[in-house]
Amino acid sequence: MTEITFTNTMQTFPQELLSEIFWHCVQVYHRYDSPTSVVPVGYVTRSALCAPLLLGRVCSRWRTTSISTPKIWTSIVIGVYERNIPSNYSLEKDMEATTVWVNRSGTRPLSFHIHLFGRPIDESGVTILGVLGLVVSQSWRWKTLRTSILTKFMKTLLAPLREGNAPKLENFCCTQRGDSSGFGRHPFTLSSVPRLERLYMIDVPIDMVFGDQMHHHHLIDIRLAEFGNLSLEDLFRCLTQCPSLERLYLTMCKFTAIALENILPANIELPHLHTLNLGMFATADPCLLFDRIILPSLTTLKFSLIRSSKSEWPHLLSMLKRSRPPLVSLCLYGIPMTERTLVECFSYMPKLTVLAYNRIDCSDITLAALSRQCRG
């Protein structure tokens, strides 16, 4: 095909198809190095070397088409990693670019990816608040919010979640850093974000409120190493009110004042849960829950119990007997268990390939049981 023929073909190419091709060009850059990565790998919002800006530099028709295609302007990256800050980086230009992207995206749902750890607070504080103010003004359009941010700016960003002004939010990934003294704690009612599917928070000083309704989350990952304000009641509500859960990661140490045995149902089944990671203090021992949960799809279990004074914890065995899960990876840390109980657990985990544990005294009996399972 000659250059002239190719050019003529592109000039007569239907605009609807051209817009769809442009959308897939943008999608190439929306890849993450992990499910909780804040910034898409290789993607910079206002880079002239990447879509969508690159598309408008080809010819006037492509520029017109790209500007009139709202969905290619719906993903906005603000800030950069500290180790990758270029010499000419400007947060002010990020704000200008964000304004352009917001205007060109029409009324489409927006995905914000914000990384502001690397900016000097004394030089950029006002600018950061201005950028966050612009982001918050669009909370009614939030679809994805991934952010790594200093504590002093967290209150501004969390306000729409507390006030129920993020009705379209599906993915929320938030990591905060810095001194949280004086920040206080704020309730986060899950019903205020009815479409939320994936929730990931690291050291964010807010209290989860599950309410009484069912939720549709697929991923909940809350790691509160510093605050530890989740309780067994929160875990119970999570298990009973989020039946669509596929992955659950929780750390907790708060004592539960209510008597769980009086409110727990006989069985709690989560048919889709395949990954469970629990880290808890002995004051929040989940034995009553493990005696009731049924996890038929569980493939990965990591469970840590800190400062337990018990000599035996048979509740894992109880769960395995009822669930018969296709468990592949099992990591137990601080779980008081006899060798006999551990070996009996193996009989309900025929697909086990990864095993890690401590606080369990094992002998050749354990090795023999594992060897038999491998041969079987």
**Which residue's entry shows tokens 């000097």?**
120
Cβ count within 10 A of residue 156: 16
Q: Alpha-carbon distance 199 to 201, whole Å?
A: 7
User: What is the pLDDT, as a whole number, of residue 92?
Assistant: 78
Considering the four listed CATH numbers 3.30.1490, 1.10.10, 2.60.40, 3.80.10, the one that applies to the domain covering 239-376 is 3.80.10
Domain positions in the chain are 239-376
Q: Tell me the CA end-to-end span of the chain in Å, nearest whole number.
A: 61
User: What is the pLDDT, as a whole number, of residue 122?
Assistant: 36
User: What is the pLDDT, as a whole number, of residue 118?
Assistant: 52
Per DSSP, the three-state class of 162 is: helix
Tokens of 244: 């669509």
> Pairing state of beta strands 293-294 and 268-269?
parallel
> Pairing state of beta strands 142-150 and 110-115?
parallel
Condensed to tens digits (0 to 9), the pLDDT of residues 171-188 reads 998 887 766 655 566 677
Q: Alpha-carbon distance 15 to 5, whole Å?
A: 18
Residue 79 has φ and ψ, to the nearest 5°, of 90, 175
Per DSSP, the three-state class of 228 is: coil
pTM (2 d.p.) = 0.82
Q: Which residues of the chain have pLDDT under 70?
A: 1-10, 27-45, 80-89, 117-126, 178-186, 205, 224-229, 253-259, 376
Helix ranges restricted to H, 283-363: 287-290, 315-323, 339-346
Q: Residue 224: what residue type?
A: L
Per DSSP, the three-state class of 344 is: helix
Count of CA atoms in the C-beta half-sphere (13 A) of 282:
10
Q: Alpha-carbon distance 227 to 159, whole Å?
A: 20
